[in-house]
Amino acid sequence: MGGGKGGSDFNPKGKTDTEVMRFCQSFMTELFRHIGPNRDIPAGDIGVGSREIGYLFGQYKRLKNEFTGVLTGKGISWGGSLIRPEATGYGVVYFIQKMLEHQGEGFKGKKVVISGSGNVAQYAAEKVIQLGGTVLTLSDSSGYIYDKGGIDEQKLSHIMELKNKRRARVNVYLKKYPKARFFENKKPWDIPCDIALPCATQNELDEKDADLLIKNSCRCVGEGANMPSSPKAINRFTMHKILYAPGKASNAGGVAVSGLEMAQNSLRYNWTREEVDDKLKSIMGDIHQSCLDYGKEKNYVNYVKGANIAGFVKVADAMLAQGVV
């Protein structure tokens, strides 16, 4: 599961709900021929939330005249799974927690810098706060906010309202919390921290940013976004023996819960929040264990190597077993 990418050249910024709906419907009018509950099940990525999934799903249902679990990320009242919006954010934090536990540590008292302010960043921040860490930053394409006192649950729910309901820029946060600072068109990697979680977009963390993080004694980097660190940045992290979790391992939570949503659709049955969360935690633990099995070096765990070899072995075994097809 996971790994495929598709998209469209459509900018939803400044568009009304009706315009977004019309676009989603015309997009699905072609897409519906290529997907199906036992063929290919797409999920949302950047710019695709439950609103868009709803419009896409509605059109699919209209065209096929059947109700099947053909898209994941659906609303809870029409076939969705609990924990799905939180999945990637929670998953990356569970993975980092396993990494820290392996070193005999935890999140308590750790300073955490997070980029992004979408689903992944919001719920990664929520889980970090629950585990006793201090979240210092969140960002969007206009820049980042830095709250020295830490972003607590109350402040985070304000950010969620700004981003999810009012669809505002992240700097509006300063109107309610003027003690925070906003850095325009900057990325948060120059803030000293223990853990960095890039949860915004591809290639947001380059070699210079990696050097800054290392200089500011950051000890752990976990990718919430897809491929946010450039190859040179990754080399820097592994060279300096930083605990670095590549996205293919650490952000698998979203894909995992997509799979759990598909399972629930097939069962025609909904699991409770706790059941889904427990399953997610155990999946992230298993992925961490696979990385350990294949990535252990003398005094260091190379998670890049571990994740790559684990993924390769799984595919190679399946190919050998199924023959030339």
Q: How far apart are the first and last CA of the chain?
A: 19
* d(C-alpha 12, C-alpha 54), whole Å: 15
CB atoms within 10 A of CB 155: 21
Alpha carbon 213 to its chain's center: 21
Q: Are 224 and 246 in contact (CB under 8 A)?
A: no
Q: Is 184 helix (H, G, I), strand (E, B) or coil?
A: strand
**Cβ within 8 Å of residue 81, ≥6 positions away:** 72, 74, 257, 260, 261, 264, 270, 271, 276
Q: Are 4 and 32 in contact (CB under 8 A)?
A: no
Where are any strands of DSSP class E within the chain?
A: 111-115, 134-140, 143-146, 181-184, 195-198, 220-222, 243-245
* d(C-alpha 217, C-alpha 193), whole Å: 7
- Kindly name the residue from 5, 165, 179, 298 that is annotated as catalytic: 5
Where are any strands of DSSP class E within 228-289?
A: 243-245
Q: Are 137 and 145 in contact (CB under 8 A)?
A: yes
Q: Judge whether 5 counts as a catalytic residue.
A: yes
* Catalytic residue IDs: 5
